[in-house]
Amino acid sequence: MEIKDKSLKELEALSQEIRDRIIDVVSRKGGHFSSTLGAVELTLGMHYVFDAYSDPFIFDVSHQCYPHKLLTGRWEEFETIRQFDGLSGFTKPNESDADYFVAGHSSTSISLAVGAAKAIKLKKEKRVPIVMIGDGSMTAGMVYEALNELGDLKFPVVIILNDNEMSIAKPIGAISKYLSKLLAGKYYQGFKGKVDKFIKNNMPEGTTYIAKRMEEALKLITPGILFEEMGIDYIGPIDGHDIQEIIETLEIAKAMGKPVIVHARTVKGKGYKVAEGQHEHWHGVGPFNVEDGAFVKKEAPKAATAVFADALSALACKYDNVVGVTAAMPSGTGINKLMDKFPERFWDVAIAEQHAITSMAAMAKEGFKPFITIYSTFLQRGFDQIIHDVCIMNLPVVFAMDRAGIVGNDGETHQGVFDISFLRFIPNMILFAPRDNKTLEQGLEFAYGLSSPCAIRYPRGAFKELEFTSTPFTLGKAELLKEGSSKKLFIGYGAGVSRAIDTEALHNDDIAILDLRFIKPIDKDILLELSKKYDDWYVFSDSQKQGGVASAILEVLNDENIQNIKVTSFEYDDSFIEHGDTKIVEKNLGLLAEQLVTKVK
């Protein structure tokens, strides 16, 4: 959509059309909501001043990119947002040339912009990377690593700090706003350059110092001193909903020819009164009634996250050395309830997974029992800390991995499929998984008693209720749920146990079912015993096939030189899994029970 020839009034009308479209579609289909509504005018300003098909448009996390999608030829297709075979809820280059990079995790944008700026410099092009980042993402260390290099390189990059929660520092009203724009303006910058050159060539050292101090005194009135000290020019704060001010400011920033941060104040949920402000439940939503904001309620069993939170709360009441941490996902992991109940023992450290892990390693060394509550997909961001700060010293840290397996509409950046593969080869790490609510509760009690690091995984949504009674966990011991009269053996791990049970129920044969429970240490004894009776094994697990559960089983059979067993894995193949409703995605992968039973037969 071409907007550069539109008047201010037309742009304001377009911003309302964009909001209406987002509210209409998301209220029916669900998706990211408050952040994307708050970024409408900023996105319009980006498209007015820059060229999305030439200048790299980089959205941090990119959950606020819905207006960008609507402005780049996806107005009608927006109806399919986050649906299987439809538009992604994040930026995705194979959707549009206007989407520069895949994004889904936070705090990568400025690093991408630095890399793009280096490439543009080498190619002798005139393009300028433009970044939109929220101040929540500014809590991650990677942002400051990128800013540190950018301030040294001085390459042209424009960074919009979309401040929809809190200021970086408290400004002093209109004077701050006026001065920061004045200091960044072309007249001041040109004048400053001439004065600096004259002073350097003609004035004594003391005069140079005095001139520099006068400039710094002016900048101290603005809240951008942090960025200025890093070598990044700063403008703001500006009104992130005033299109005219946004366009004027971005034009100044673009013309500066160096790195600059534009600090814009916005309101989350802008334009939909019910969602305006700091309401965490409006960040990502399911279907809701537009008239009153009431969510469409669905009867659902208790989610594994809620079971975990209640069990951990009971554990914290029982043992006063239990502590916990999350990285910016308190409600998503259920730890918000514990933060309210035990404010001195449970913390949200913001988007800082590496810090979360290392800080808890120190607490474990001091005699506490830390539970790091984290999505499987976000644990990837702290991989080195797991090895270097936890496992080498064999510290009893518990990694409670929520959203293990397919997570649905967030798609490839968020699928929790890799944790078994990247944790299994780390020395001292214990890996186990519950199959239902009862074994999740038992698993946390078991984890508390371990003197080594461990990771426990559980799915998004609810476990299926199973009829099998469960025994308490014993380190490295599996549980045979059912003997069988055929030569087949179904081996389930975690939520995969219920899939094995469902598949067996659809089969004509009487098939044995094993809940593996532990992938590390794996129960070699029971596998060797079962190899004498069953020679056709099938593995069910919500995890990547490479380095996964079947791989571990095959390693045991190889080590013991057992050659009569055929092992078939129903884990995920070597590709990233697309977004969409979980059941539809599983059907597309051929992993529903009715599909699996056909494969077994």
Catalytic residue among 41, 228, 353, 586: 353
CA distance 370 to 360: 6
Please indicate, yes or no, if residue 556 is contained in any of the structural domains: yes
Residue that finishes a domain, picked among 231, 251, 285 = 285
- Of the pLDDT bands very low, low, confident and very high (cuts 50, 70, 90), residue 169 is very low
Please indicate, yes or no, if residue 431 is contained in any of the structural domains: yes
Report the DSSP pairing between strands 233-239 and 284-285.
Answer: unpaired
CA distance 232 to 253: 11
In sequence order, what are the residues at sequence separation of 6 or more whose Cβ sits closer than 8 angstroms to the Cβ of residue 474? Answer: none
Q: How many CB atoms lie within 10 A of CB 470?
A: 18
Identify whether 245 is a catalytic site residue: no
Residue 171 has pLDDT above 50, yes or no: no
Q: Indicate if 363 and 452 belong to the same structural domain.
A: yes
When divided into structural domains, the chain yields a total of: 3
Q: Indicate if 315 and 269 belong to the same structural domain.
A: no
Q: Which of 397, 359, 350 is nearest to 378 (CA)?
A: 350
Q: Indicate if 161 and 267 belong to the same structural domain.
A: yes
Q: Indicate if 453 and 549 belong to the same structural domain.
A: no
Q: Indicate if 255 and 114 belong to the same structural domain.
A: yes
CB 259 within 8 A of CB 232: yes
Q: Indicate if 374 and 489 belong to the same structural domain.
A: no
The mean pLDDT of 195-212, rounded to a whole number, is: 62
Identify whether 268 is a catalytic site residue: yes
Position 523 scores a pLDDT of: 98
CB 475 within 8 A of CB 518: yes
Please indicate, yes or no, if residue 355 is contained in any of the structural domains: yes
Please indicate, yes or no, if residue 195 is contained in any of the structural domains: no
Identify whether 435 is a catalytic site residue: no
CA distance 137 to 156: 21
Q: Indicate if 280 and 339 belong to the same structural domain.
A: no
More confident residue, 9 or 136: 9
Lowest mean pLDDT among 225-229, 306-310, 482-486: 225-229
Position 134 scores a pLDDT of: 87
The mean pLDDT of 22-45, rounded to a whole number, is: 95
The mean pLDDT of 65-88, rounded to a whole number, is: 96
Residue keyed to tokens 């559980």: 458
Q: Indicate if 238 and 132 belong to the same structural domain.
A: yes
User: What's the full length of the chain, in residues?
Assistant: 601
CA distance 323 to 346: 6
The helix/strand/coil state of 48 is helix
Residue 213 has pLDDT above 80, yes or no: no
DSSP per-residue letters across 107-148: S-HHHHHHHHHHHHHHTT-----EEEEETTGGGSHHHHHHHH
CATH assignment of the domain containing 325? 3.40.50.970
Position 167 scores a pLDDT of: 42
Q: Indicate if 362 and 505 belong to the same structural domain.
A: no
Please indicate, yes or no, if residue 191 is contained in any of the structural domains: no
Catalytic residue among 177, 181, 268, 457: 268
Catalytic residue among 19, 29, 381, 488: 381
Residue that finishes a domain, picked among 425, 457, 489 = 457
In sequence order, what are the residues at sequence separation of 6 or more whose Cβ sits closer than 8 angstroms to the Cβ of residue 400? Answer: 308, 312, 333, 371, 372, 373, 374, 444, 455, 456, 458
The rounded percent of the chain whose pLDDT value lies above 70 is: 90
CATH assignment of the domain containing 525? 3.40.50.920
Residue 199 has pLDDT above 80, yes or no: no
Lowest mean pLDDT among 113-122, 219-228, 263-272, 501-510: 219-228
Please indicate, yes or no, if residue 346 is contained in any of the structural domains: yes
Residues spanned by the domain of 127: 8-171+223-285
Residue that finishes a domain, picked among 405, 425, 457 = 457
Q: Indicate if 450 and 512 belong to the same structural domain.
A: no
Please indicate, yes or no, if residue 433 is contained in any of the structural domains: yes
CA distance 280 to 274: 12
Position 172 scores a pLDDT of: 45
Lowest mean pLDDT among 52-61, 203-212, 538-547, 576-585: 203-212
Give, in degrees to the nearest 5, the angle at Cα 581 between 577 and 585.
40
Calculate the CA 90 to chain-centre distance: 11
Please indicate, yes or no, if residue 272 is contained in any of the structural domains: yes
Residues 525-576 pLDDT 10s: 999 999 999 999 999 999 999 999 999 999 999 999 999 999 999 999 999 9
Residue 50 has pLDDT above 60, yes or no: yes
Q: Indicate if 544 and 449 belong to the same structural domain.
A: no
Q: Indicate if 153 and 259 belong to the same structural domain.
A: yes
